[in-house]
Amino acid sequence: MEVGQMQRQWVDYTKSLVFEGFLDGQFLQLQQLQDENNPDFVVEVVSLFFEDSERLLNDLTFALDQNGGVDFKKVDAHVHQLKGSSSSIGAQRVKNCCVAFRNFCEEQNTDACLRCLQQVKQEYCLAKNKLETLFRLEQQIMAAGGSIPMIELSF
Amino acid sequence: MYLINGKGSMSNSGADGVSDQFPAGLRVLVVDDDPTCLMILEKMLRTCLYQVTKCNRAEIALMLLRENKNGFDIVLSDVHMPDMDGFKLLEHIGLEMDLPVIMMSADDSKNVVMKGVTHGACDYLIKPVRIDSLKNIWQHVVRKKKNEWRDTEQSGSAEEGDRQLRASDDADYSSSANEGRQRNSKKRRDEDEDADERGDTSALKKPRVVWSVELHQQFVAAVDQIGIDKAVPKKILELMNVAGLTRENVASHLQKYRLYLRRLSGVSQHQNNSFLSQQDATFGSISSINDLQTLAAAGQLPAQSLATLQASGLGRSTAKAGVHMPLMDQRDLFSFENARLRFGEGQQQHLNSSKSINLLHGMRTNMEPKQLANLHQSTQSIANLNIRVNASTTQSNPLLTQMTQSQPKGQMLNENICLAPRLSTSFGQPNRSGICNGPLGRNGIVTNNVASAQNSSMLSFPMNQTPEMSISSFPLGSTPGISSITTKGSFQEEVTSGIKEDGGFVPSYDIFNELHHHKSHDWEITSPGLTYVASHPANPLQDNINVSPSFLVQQGFYPTQQTGLNRDPPLMSKALFSLGEGLEQGILQNADQHLNRVVHNSVRVKVERFPDESSQSNLSPEHYGQEDLLSALLKQVCPFFLPKDPILYTLYSLSIIINQICSVFLAARRR
């Protein structure tokens, strides 16, 4: 596959992710921050996000698994952080799940929280897969000597 | 935990960090426990050409700040952090280093944002933070430095004044007066030198006393004890008994405090704004729980939030010992007597009342004194009632309450009536060009030409509208707001009964009276709106007059349209009602306009005539007999002919009125 084709593919894929709500404008902003000085900025940030989120999801699972009584304050704190980081990188669907999650935390509804946790995990996995695909495509483009195109949010 | 020193030094920033390529090189400390956010923020700030230091623990941040007292210009901090609450960090920074702090959070709930405000954050960003928001954070640095500069200048001037007069026993009192003088001159110099100062402010930082919460509270307690009027720095210092606090510190702080109190008591809006920019930012560093803090924060916030903060600040200030109470009472007196209308917007009150007074003066030149005097009395109750009515009905409408608060003269009346919620749907702002478009538009009445004719003419709009209101309460086709009125059967009855009193103008207020049961403050307020009538150019009316007779003739043949009208003694309202009904049956909208114009114009004139014709000097709604005035008018014109048939009576009276209009204007023209 030649570079131009790959680039178009990359653009289309990114746009589709935005259309489907996996990513939002924040992600595109991050891409614009990337420049020659930091060519891997987006990848670095997203990797950081993956690490952080997995840690948070583990903490959440642990916190909600307490038979002795769930510490909703703690759960809420974790969810809040996940919400913050997912919104910072533009993982929109993850963020939306977190919003719903927080509401249930306020209500102290353990079952609903567990359901939300499942949902968040699912969304997170989806987002992770999509982003990894995107990065693979980017690597291919770079390897073929091309550059990552800029995307304007015009829709 | 990690800590990286920013490498993005693009500018030739020296030790002070505020360089020629300002705002580039601004030294930012960003604190966030989320590594993703931290990295993104750092990248964004670097892109803005700032010098970034990041850390993920609040304690480390504090340590960094303490080590390099002048090492940073601004701090960005997350709200939710595991080791220390972001607000606590904010307080520490405010007290110890007095740097501007911006809070960030994914939490956008109002109470959290409010907390940030009350704790003295100069801004609050919602995550995800966009780079555009970060581009402007330098303004907070500049603002703060500017205020600090002014503050140190003031302390300096206090010192000079003090040294001169230390000898005498009255030194304190006179020196504070001296300080005041010096401060004013200093202020002028400051404003001139601001541009130069900004570049050098950081290099010229003098060691200054930070007025912490406790310190300020001690100060206030001491002032309260002495009494605000008798408070002098020396006594305050003695009472406070704080080591290391100099008389000059107390003196400058006292000045600021006095200005703050003066502002609370409702000094003009303009002064308020200047206070905010100058004084409140410095006040901001004082405390987090003091009401001054709210005002300080308000200095950074848009002006409209000032009202709420002032209210809260005022609320708190009243809780303090007697010092503030007299000021509050003064404000009460100043403001509209009906206390429940007060919404703590003292600044607007004065602005409005002063404006309205000017308008009234303008009006006078057009009127003959006698007429004006008569009108004054008659219009007072009218205006007042209307305003009260509007106020009571529109308390939820901030614009209205703002209007209704002040001593409503001139403009106020205009705007009040224009903004009457019953009629206006989308009417927002008082249109000073003289056209209340909302209700007018709806009724299809084009009196714009009238209004635009003169500046003074706009004041009559309220008058126009009120009769329209009463008239339009009749089913008049397409006007939407009216249906809400007409659905209230009682209202309609009131309208008719109201109108019957004196032909339409005053009764509209009677309607409100009946609806709202208020009969106080009858005579305090002038309505120059009525004065308009005399000065009104005759042309538009002549148009109406040309149209109306034929139209009236047309309307004369719709008696069958009356439904449910009780056959009371002939009342203009009945005729109008029937006319209205007739209109509803499909007369042209145009005809509507003309009729309404006729009616309201006639009504307007009617009011003007009252002072001339009625023997009463006090026109009070309660005194109006049911048909006194109208029949008085008719009898005056032709005592022998008084049709009994309601329709004919109405038509007859209308024609009389129109006749009167013509004569009045002709007479006015002749003069």
Mean pLDDT score, B170-198? 46
Tokens, residue B243: 């080591």
C-alpha B549: how far from chain center: 45
* Residue B127 to residue A44, Cβ atoms within 8 A: no
**B-chain residues within 8 Å CB-CB of A92?**
none
Tell me what pLDDT residue A83 has. 93
Biggest alpha carbon–alpha carbon distance for chain B: 103
User: In angstroms, rounded to a whole number, what is the distance separating the alpha carbons of residues B213 and B219?
Assistant: 10
Task: Measure CB to CB from residue B43 to each of A38, A77, A85 and give the nearest one.
Answer: A38
Peptide bond into B23 cis (omega under 30): yes
The amino acid present at B125, given as its one-letter code, is L
What are the residues of chain A with a beta carbon less than 8 Å away from any beta carbon of chain B?
26, 29-30, 33, 38, 41, 44-45, 48-49, 51-52, 77, 80-81, 83-85, 87-90
Please choose, from the candidates B321, B47, B326, B282, the residue with its C-alpha nearest in 3D space to the C-alpha of residue B154: B282
Q: Is the dihedral of CA A34, A36, A37, A40 positive or negative?
A: positive
Mean pLDDT score, A14-37? 88
Nearest chain A residue (CA) to B35: A48
Task: Measure CB to CB from residue A84 to each of B47, B127, B130 and give the nearest one.
Answer: B127
Higher pLDDT, A4 or B470: A4
**A-chain residues within 8 Å CB-CB of B80?**
77, 80-81, 84
Mean pLDDT score, B164-187? 47
Tell me what pLDDT residue A82 has. 93
C-alpha B351: how far from chain center: 9
**B-chain residues within 8 Å CB-CB of A33?**
40, 43-44, 47, 131
Confidence of residue B336 (pLDDT cuts 50, 70, 90): very low
User: In angstroms, rounded to a whole number, what is the distance separating the alpha carbons of residues B327 and B312?
Assistant: 15
Whether residue B491 is predicted with pLDDT greater than 50 in this model: the reply is no
The CA-to-CA distance between both ends of chain A, in Å, stands at 28
Mean pLDDT of chain B: 57
Work out the percent of chain B whose per-residue pLDDT is above 90: 7
Higher pLDDT, A149 or B497: A149
**B-chain residues within 8 Å CB-CB of A96?**
none
Mean pLDDT score, B320-344? 41
Residue-wise pLDDT tens digits, B48-94: 899 999 998 999 999 999 888 788 889 999 998 888 888 988 888 88
**A-chain residues within 8 Å CB-CB of B43?**
33, 38, 41, 45
Whether residue A108 is predicted with pLDDT greater than 60 in this model: the reply is yes
User: In angstroms, rounded to a whole number, what is the distance separating the alpha carbons of residues B372 and B363?
Assistant: 9
The amino acid present at A80, given as its one-letter code, is H
Residue-wise pLDDT tens digits, B641-650: 677 788 888 8
CB of B400 within 8 A of CB of B416?
Answer: yes
**Minimal Cα–Cα distance from B312 to chain A, Å?**
29
**CB-defined contacts A:B, below 8 A:** 57
Task: Measure CB to CB from residue B128 to each of A38, A51, A87 and give the nearest one.
Answer: A87
Confidence of residue B632 (pLDDT cuts 50, 70, 90): confident
Residue-wise pLDDT tens digits, B253-264: 888 888 888 877
Nearest chain A residue (CA) to B128: A88
User: In angstroms, rounded to a whole number, what is the distance separating the alpha carbons of residues B504 and B495?
Assistant: 9
Which residue has tokens 């043949």? B557
**Minimal Cα–Cα distance from B127 to chain A, Å?**
6
User: In angstroms, rounded to a whole number, what is the distance separating the alpha carbons of residues B660 and A132?
Assistant: 87
* Residue A88 to residue B105, Cβ atoms within 8 A: no
Mean pLDDT score, B602-620? 42
User: In angstroms, rounded to a whole number, what is the distance separating the alpha carbons of residues B158 and B232?
Assistant: 13
* Residue A45 to residue B40, Cβ atoms within 8 A: yes
Nearest chain B residue (CA) to A46: B36
CB of A53 within 8 A of CB of A85?
Answer: yes
Tell me what pLDDT residue B246 has. 83
Q: Which of A31-35, B157-161, B374-378 has the lowest mean pLDDT?
A: B374-378
Residue-wise pLDDT tens digits, B503-513: 334 444 444 44
Tell me what pLDDT residue B23 has. 75
CB of B100 within 8 A of CB of B140?
Answer: yes
Angle, helices B528-535/B346-364, rounded to nearest 10 degrees: 30
Q: Which of A140-154, B18-32, B78-92, B347-361 has the lowest mean pLDDT?
A: B347-361
Please choose, from the candidates B212, B215, B205, B252, the residue with its C-alpha nearest in 3D space to the C-alpha of residue B94: B212
* Residue B80 to residue A81, Cβ atoms within 8 A: yes
**A-chain residues within 8 Å CB-CB of B126?**
none
**Minimal Cα–Cα distance from A49 to chain B, Å?**
6
DSSP-derived secondary structure letter, B83: S
Tell me what pLDDT residue A153 has. 58
Task: Measure CB to CB from residue A52 to each of B34, B80, B130 and give the nearest one.
Answer: B34
Whether residue B295 is predicted with pLDDT greater than 60 in this model: the reply is no
Mean pLDDT score, B353-381? 44
Question: Residue B27 pairs with which residues in a beta bridge?
Answer: B51
* Residue A88 to residue B40, Cβ atoms within 8 A: yes
Interface test with A, best of B40, B46, B49 (most A CBs within 10 A): B40
Task: Measure CB to CB from residue B34 to each of A38, A81, A90 and give the nearest one.
Answer: A81
Confidence of residue A69 (pLDDT cuts 50, 70, 90): confident
Please choose, from the candidates B663, B477, B468, B658, the residue with its C-alpha nearest in 3D space to the C-alpha of residue B576: B468
CB of B372 within 8 A of CB of B531?
Answer: yes
Tokens, residue B263: 């502002």
User: In angstroms, rounded to a whole number, what is the distance separating the alpha carbons of residues A12 and B81?
Assistant: 38
Whether residue B235 is predicted with pLDDT greater than 70 in this model: the reply is yes
* Residue B40 to residue A81, Cβ atoms within 8 A: no
E strand spans, chain A:
none
CB of B496 within 8 A of CB of B330?
Answer: no
Which residue has tokens 């100043």? B334
Q: Which of B196-200, B300-304, B434-438, B574-578 has the lowest mean pLDDT?
A: B434-438
Secondary-structure breakdown of chain A: helix, strand, coil percentages, each rounded to the nearest 5:
75, 0, 25
* Residue A85 to residue B37, Cβ atoms within 8 A: yes
Interface test with A, best of B32, B36, B54 (most A CBs within 10 A): B36
* Residue B36 to residue A45, Cβ atoms within 8 A: yes
Please choose, from the candidates B253, B330, B333, the residue with its C-alpha nearest in 3D space to the C-alpha of residue B290: B253
Q: Write the ipTM.
A: 0.92
User: In angstroms, rounded to a whole number, what is the distance separating the alpha carbons of residues B637 and B654?
Assistant: 12
Biggest alpha carbon–alpha carbon distance for chain A: 59
Whether residue B361 is predicted with pLDDT greater than 50 in this model: the reply is no
